[in-house]
Each structure stands twice: as structure tokens, then as C-alpha cells.
């Protein structure tokens, strides 16, 4: 007859084996769950603004939100407010790109107190388990991307900084951020036309190339062709980097256009929405990793409602001659949502050149097939109301969807037969999505 001691040992052994396999099973289930729940880190779809309506952003597939702070002596006193806001943003499903603004950069350069404050902020929000901000409502505030300054190549602006001095500032602050958070990404301040390439060149001449991870660009313009200028900027920046043996990612952290009227030039909601889609498509095709619409989710930039940046938002703010009332979504809002629905998760982009003038076609490869985006730059042929095009398509049929929904957010869609590998359609002001199964 076995002793009580040996029986107890056997029971403990069985219990340990049971707990081991139970823990392994739970771990495997957790791993599967993590695979099923995307973090959207790779998503290219962002927005820049100051709004707090995060649900309205994620409802249309926005996954990145760009902010801006001026860290100063009172920052630590307000730390709880920052903790709460960052946690709310992260909890809503948005990744954060935070911008260290450089107003008064001369006093900040080489300032040990400023460097310590930057280190403190980066460490607090890097979610590495060391001196992190507390979880709020179950969400840990997390920021892994930091932009240094904003549009420094605009003379006379708050963040204006000579390129030689900006190179010095990068050398000063980049190591501070990286020591606190090696995995964090540091962005070169958003450069604007038309000195972006010259400014970057001088920074690289002065040894700044090892002190940033990503280049940031800004551009705006009208809805009748200015979207293409972003491609020119990207190519020029790539050429400058290649000159110094550098190949770093490019983000467009501000771009947009308006609906309404600016200086007597009217643009409809449809034209703004169509331009939004074109900007994202050509910028991603040119190699931009992420694109942030600005300014911002809601209209309003402190003016009377009729200035350029008062009208670039996606939702009306109740001010301006062409405003339809606070909270009313513009057609560009719905177009953004339809765009992310069709294009999120693409694995490759290729431009397909057609014979027709002023017609542009791009193919997005996805795991379950292809999505083509095609449009006609109608303003170059003002005598035509529509343009007939023939598009080479593999497959027997395709689903066509107008890229700009109506004022109720409804997008027209139909199934079209492909005849002898050719899809015939008529284009008007709105781009069109063409979905084809392999």
C-alpha cells in the first residue's frame, strides 16, 4: 500500500502537468487572438488635426492621428491630462504620431533641461514597462513615432529654422529619444514646397542623415491637378537622399484641399472628395508609406469659415458661406471611408498606362484579388462631359463602384461584364473602383 507522502507527490505531479498544458493552451489561444486582431500599424491612412471625435475617425478607417505639443516647464504639472488623452486615442484604435514643436528652438538647442523633459516624455509613453504612464480605463498610452518640428523651411514662422541649425538640432535630440526608446521612429520635420529638396540637401550636407528615420512632407493646393505635385516632391526627396547614399521612408503628414470658395475659386464637395482619393492613390503609388489628410476631421482653423484651412475638413463646423451645419459629413468624409474599405490591406501598387489622354489607372493587389482605381482629369478637356475608356482586365466580370458617395453616404455600384479582356466604361468627375477576383 503506497504511503500518503508518495500519493501526495503523484497528485502534485499530475496537477503540475495539468496546469502546464492549460497554460500552453491559453497562450496558443491568445496568440491566435492577437493574429486575428490587427493593430493597424502598417495602415497608410492618417489624419492631422486637434479633434477628439476619435470614433468618427475610426468609423471611416483612419488608423493614424498626428498631434503637436510644445513641451515646457508646466508639462509635468499637466501630465495627467496628456495621459488621459493619449490613452483615449489609443483605446479608440488609433496610432499616434506626436510632434515636438520647435517654437524658440534657439533656446532649446543644447538645453539640458529640455533634453531631460523630452527623454521623460518619450520614456513615459514607450510602453516598455519602465517608468510608463499608468493604464487608464484599461488602455496604456503608447507613442512610438515622434516628429521634430513643423515646416522649418518656411521663413518667419514659429518653427522656422535654418537647415544648418536644424541638422544640429537633430544631432542633439535624436540620441535623447533613441536612448529612451530605441524602437521609436523619429521624423524629419514636415517640409513644404518649394524648397523641400534644397533644405533637405543642406541638412544632409551638415551630417544630419544619421539622425532621423523618416522624412515628412506637406503640400496642399486645388482639386484640379495639384494632387500630382506630391509625386514630384517624393521623387525629388528620393533623389536628394540617393545623392548621400540614404534610402529612408517618406510620410506625407499633411495634405488636403477644400470645398467651398477661396479667393473666388469654388470647389464642390464632389471635387474635394475626388481629389482626396487621387492624392492617396498617387502618393502611395509613388512610395509614401503613410498619408495624413489635413486640416482636419472637422472644418475650422480660427478664421471666419471662408478661408482655405477653414474648409479642408471632412465634417462641417457650422461656419462659412457654404457650410451645411455643424456635424454634417461632407462627401469627402464618406469617400475616405469607402477608400479605406476598398484599399486597406493592399500588398502592392502598380500604375497601368493607358492610351487615353488624361486618364490614370492604378492596380492594388490584395490577398483576395485586385482593386483598380481609375479616373479622368476632366478639367484638361473642358468640352467633354464624360470620357469613354477601355481598360484591360483579367476575368469575366468586375464590380464597379463610384469612389465619391452621395450626400447620404451611399455609393453607386454595379457588376459589369468583361468582354475579350476589355472593360468599357464612361468616366466623369469621380474616380471609380474596379474589383476583380483572381
* Assigned domain for 12 exists: no
Domain end point (choices 293, 325, 346): 346
Q: Are residues 109 and 246 in the same domain?
A: yes
Mean pLDDT in residue range 182-207: 97
Greater model confidence, 27 or 14 = 14
pLDDT for 10: 42
pLDDT for 17: 40
* Assigned domain for 87 exists: yes
> What percent of the chain has a predicted confidence (pLDDT) above 70?
91
Mean pLDDT rounded to a whole number for the chain: 90
DSSP string, 254-274: EE---SEEETTEEE-HHHHHH
* Assigned domain for 237 exists: yes
* Assigned domain for 400 exists: yes
Q: Are residues 122 and 246 in the same domain?
A: yes
> What is the pTM for the complete model shown?
0.89
Q: What is the rounded distance in angstroms from the CA atom of residue 303 to the CA atom of residue 311?
A: 10
Greater model confidence, 420 or 231 = 231
Q: Are residues 385 and 289 in the same domain?
A: no
Q: What is the rounded distance in angstroms from the CA atom of residue 289 to the CA atom of residue 215?
A: 10
Would the pLDDT of 67 be above 80? yes
Let me know how many helices (H) and strands (E) the chain has, helices first: 10, 18
Residue 13's pLDDT band (cuts 50, 70, 90) = very low
Residue 347's pLDDT band (cuts 50, 70, 90) = very high
Residue 304's pLDDT band (cuts 50, 70, 90) = confident
**What does the pLDDT look like over 235-245, one tens digit per residue?**
999 999 999 99
Q: Are residues 337 and 381 in the same domain?
A: no
**In Å, how far are 213, 216, 291, 344 from 46, measured between CA atoms?**
18, 13, 6, 12
Q: Are residues 214 and 257 in the same domain?
A: yes
Domain end point (choices 290, 323, 346): 346
Residue 105's pLDDT band (cuts 50, 70, 90) = confident
Whether the CB-CB separation of 103 and 159 falls below 8 Å is answered with yes
Q: Are residues 336 and 379 in the same domain?
A: no
* Assigned domain for 17 exists: no
Domain end point (choices 320, 346, 372): 346
Residue 196's pLDDT band (cuts 50, 70, 90) = very high
**What does the pLDDT look like over 393-435, one tens digit per residue?**
888 899 999 999 999 999 999 999 999 899 999 999 999 999 9
pLDDT for 39: 55
* CATH for 293: 3.20.20.80
Residue 136 burial (10 A CB sphere; 0-12, 13-18, 19+): middle
Instruction: State the alpha helices, DSSP H only, in 129-247.
Output: 163-180, 196-205, 229-243
* Assigned domain for 10 exists: no
Would the pLDDT of 33 be above 50? no
Residue 47's SS3 state is strand
Q: Are residues 365 and 335 in the same domain?
A: no
Residue 27's pLDDT band (cuts 50, 70, 90) = very low
| Residue 193: domain span | 39-346
Q: What is the rounded distance in angstroms from the CA atom of residue 136 to the CA atom of residue 139?
A: 5
- Which of these ranges, 45-49, 111-115, 303-307, 344-348, has the smallest mean pLDDT? 303-307
Would the pLDDT of 25 be above 60? no
Q: Are residues 73 and 216 in the same domain?
A: yes
pLDDT for 30: 37
* CATH for 426: 2.60.40.1180
**What does the pLDDT look like over 250-269, one tens digit per residue?**
999 999 999 999 999 999 99
* Assigned domain for 238 exists: yes
CA 368 to chain centre: 24
Q: Are residues 132 and 253 in the same domain?
A: yes
Q: Are residues 357 and 337 in the same domain?
A: no
Q: How many structural domains are present in the chain?
A: 2
Q: Are residues 269 and 379 in the same domain?
A: no
Q: Are residues 319 and 360 in the same domain?
A: no
Residue 3's pLDDT band (cuts 50, 70, 90) = low
Q: What is the rounded distance in angstroms from the CA atom of residue 73 to the CA atom of residue 13?
A: 59
* Assigned domain for 310 exists: yes
pLDDT for 395: 82
pLDDT for 308: 94
Amino acid at each position: 500500500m503506497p504511503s500518503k507522502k508518495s500519493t501526495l507527490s503523484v497528485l502534485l505531479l499530475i496537477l503540475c502537468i495539468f496546469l502546464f498544458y492549460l497554460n500552453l493552451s491559453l497562450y496558443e489561444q491568445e496568440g491566435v487572438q492577437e493574429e486575428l486582431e490587427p493593430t493597424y500599424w502598417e495602415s497608410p491612412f492618417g489624419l492631422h488635426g486637434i479633434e477628439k471625435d476619435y470614433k468618427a475617425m475610426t468609423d471611416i478607417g483612419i488608423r493614424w492621428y498626428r498631434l503637436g505639443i510644445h513641451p515646457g516647464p508646466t508639462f509635468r504639472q499637466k501630465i495627467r491630462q496628456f495621459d488621459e488623452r493619449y490613452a483615449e486615442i489609443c483605446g479608440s484604435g488609433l496610432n499616434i504620431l506626436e510632434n515636438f514643436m520647435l517654437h524658440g528652438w534657439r533656446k532649446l538647442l543644447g538645453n539640458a533641461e529640455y533634453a531631460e523633459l523630452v527623454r521623460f516624455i518619450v520614456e513615459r509613453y514607450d510602453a516598455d514597462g519602465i517608468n510608463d504612464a499608468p493604464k487608464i480605463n484599461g488602455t496604456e498610452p503608447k507613442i512610438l513615432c515622434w516628429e521634430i518640428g513643423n515646416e522649418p523651411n518656411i521663413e518667419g514662422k514659429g518653427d522656422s529654422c535654418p537647415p544648418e541649425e536644424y541638422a544640429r538640432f537633430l544631432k542633439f535630440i535624436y540620441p535623447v529619444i533613441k536612448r529612451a526608446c530605441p524602437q521609436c521612429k523619429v521624423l524629419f520635420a514636415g517640409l513644404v514646397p518649394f524648397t523641400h529638396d534644397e533644405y533637405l540637401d543642406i541638412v544632409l550636407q551638415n551630417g544630419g542623415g544619421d539622425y532621423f528615420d523618416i522624412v515628412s512632407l506637406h503640400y496642399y493646393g486645388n482639386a484640379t491637378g495639384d494632387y500630382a505635385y506630391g509625386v514630384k516632391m517624393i521623387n525629388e526627396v528620393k533623389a536628394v537622399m540617393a545623392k548621400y547614399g540614404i534610402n529612408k521612408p517618406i510620410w506625407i503628414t499633411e495634405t488636403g484641399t477644400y470645398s467651398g470658395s477661396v479667393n473666388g475659386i469654388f470647389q464642390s464637395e464632389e471635387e474635394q472628395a475626388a481629389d482626396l482619393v487621387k492624392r492617396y492613390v498617387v502618393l502611395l503609388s509613388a512610395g509614401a508609406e503613410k498619408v495624413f489628410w489635413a486640416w482636419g476631421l472637422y472644418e475650422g482653423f480660427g478664421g471666419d469659415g471662408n478661408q482655405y484651412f477653414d474648409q479642408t475638413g471632412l465634417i462641417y463646423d457650422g461656419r462659412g458661406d457654404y457650410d451645411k451645419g455643424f456635424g454634417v459629413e461632407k462627401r469627402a468624409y464618406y469617400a475616405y471611408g469607402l477608400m479605406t474599405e476598398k484599399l486597406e490591406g493592399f500588398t502592392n501598387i502598380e500604375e497601368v498606362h493607358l492610351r487615353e489622354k488624361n486618364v490614370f489607372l492604378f492596380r492594388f493587389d490584395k490577398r483576395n484579388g485586385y482593386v483598380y482605381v481609375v479616373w479622368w482629369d476632366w478639367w484638361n478637356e473642358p468640352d467633354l462631359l464624360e470620357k469613354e475608356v477601355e481598360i484591360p482586365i483579367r476575368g469575366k466580370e468586375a464590380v464597379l463602384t463610384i469612389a465619391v458617395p452621395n450626400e447620404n453616404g451611399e455609393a453607386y455600384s454595379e457588376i459589369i461584364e468583361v468582354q475579350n479582356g476589355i472593360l468599357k466604361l464612361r468616366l466623369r468627375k469621380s474616380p471609380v473602383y474596379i474589383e476583380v477576383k483572381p
